[in-house]
Amino acid sequence: MSVSKVIVFGAHGKIGQHVIKLLSKLDYKTTAVVRNDEQASTIQKLADNSSNVSSTNLTIDEASVKDLSGSIKGNDAVILTVGSAGKNLLQVDLDGVVKTFEASVEANVKRLILISAIHAENREFGEKSQIRDYYIAKHYADRILIDEFSNKLDYTIIKPTHLTDDPSTGKIDIIKNLNEDVGKISRTDVAKVLVEILNLKETYGKSYNIKNGSHDIDNPSTYEA
Ligand SMILES: NC(=O)c1ccc[n+]([C@@H]2O[C@H](COP(=O)([O-])OP(=O)(O)OC[C@H]3O[C@@H](n4cnc5c(N)ncnc54)[C@H](OP(=O)(O)O)[C@@H]3O)[C@@H](O)[C@H]2O)c1
């Protein structure tokens, strides 16, 4: 089934806002998960008041799996670009995100794209980081998605390197080697990746460490292997 209805958690965030702008210009029906009415009105402005974009108020650490699944139901895909910026790692980046996996299964919505962080799969990388707790939360959220949900969800994990607010380049590299320079990536390009792979079956069940580079975001071969 192709994806046409998408719910975006973290829609008012920096990457989230780029995602909403992109989706609003394409043929998607989008629900933006925001935290208050002021954020909802920002989203409407971003989407040029498109009738294809609506908002719902939810705070994932306070919401139950049932609340989350009620919002997810009726969509074809979930994009998770939430993050507590280190302020509430256990409740948001770990438990909030895992509750959303459970809610997606409960709502019978299989396609799910999660934003994690560069090399979150590698404990040694996280151990050397200044933000070790952040890496622990990202590592276990990803690991639970892979270990417990791979037969229930068509997931893709996107792990960007250091984010910037630079303009889009439209190009990325998939980082395959721990020793490779991790570079940087603009949030607009991360948003482009999220939208580009929504319907790309080759990316199901896969995780990608990404930075700006030389491969076209809109070329499916970029995501091979
Ligand atoms: N900074 C980096 O270099 C870097 C690198 C790799 C990956 N990442 C990851 O990329 C993701 C997005 O980055 P970004 O720059 O777009 O971050 P951001 O601007 O801080 O956006 C995060 C979004 O999550 C929302 N959020 C936080 N707690 C929530 C909760 N309890 N319930 C519902 N929504 C909640 C925020 O809402 P409010 O606006 O209301 O707070 C915001 O909309 C994060 O997961 C981050 O960890 C960051």
Query: What residue type is assigned to position 135 of the chain?
Result: Y
Q: Residue with the nearest Cα to atom 6 of ligand 1?
A: 117
Using CA positions, which residue lies closest to atom 43 of ligand 1? 13
Handedness of CA 217, 99, 146, 74 (dihedral sign): negative
Any residues with CB less than 8 A from the CB of 148 and at least 6 apart, and which?
101
Name the residues annotated as catalytic.
Answer: 134
- Domain extents in the chain: 5-223
Q: How far is CA 177 from the centre of its chain?
A: 22
Residues 21-66 pLDDT 10s: 999 999 899 999 999 999 999 999 999 999 999 999 999 999 999 9
Q: What is the pLDDT of residue 198?
A: 98
pLDDT greater than 90 at residue 8: yes
DSSP label of 63: S
Mutating to test ligand 1, I would choose from 39, 43, 68, 82 the residue with most ligand atoms within 8 A of its C-beta, which is 82
As given in the structure block, the two tokens for residue 223 are: 């995501």
Average pLDDT over residues 76-82: 98
Place 206 in a pLDDT band, splitting at 50, 70 and 90.
very high
Q: What is the pLDDT of residues 139-161, one digit of tens each?
A: 999 999 999 999 999 999 999 99
Write down the pLDDT at residue 109. Answer: 98
| Interval between CA 4 and ligand 1 midpoint (Å) | 24
Superfamily of domain 5-223: NAD(P)-binding Rossmann-like Domain (3.40.50.720)
pLDDT of residue 93: 98
Per-residue pLDDT for 178 more than 90? no
Task: Give Cα 205 to chain centroid, integer Å.
Answer: 14
Residues framing ligand 1 (Cβ under 6 A)? 10, 12-16, 35, 59-61, 81-85, 92, 96, 115, 117-118, 160, 162-163, 187
Instruction: State the distance between the two ends of the chain, measured CA to CA, in whole angstroms.
Output: 23
Atom of ligand 1 at shortest distance to CA of 118? 6
User: What band does 1 get if pLDDT is binned at 50, 70 and 90?
Assistant: confident
* In the predicted structure, residue 115 carries a pLDDT above the cut 70: yes
Using 50, 70 and 90 to split pLDDT, how confident is the model at 225?
low
- Residue with CA nearest ligand 1 atom 34: 10
Nearest atom of ligand 1 to the alpha carbon of 134: 47
Q: Considering the chain, what percentage of its residues have pLDDT values greater than 70?
A: 100
Q: What is the mean pLDDT of the chain?
A: 97
Q: Which residue has the tokens 């700006």?
A: 212
Encode burial over 191-210: b for 16+ CB neighbours within 10 A, e otherwise: bbbbbbbbeeeebeebbbbb
pLDDT at res. 202: 96
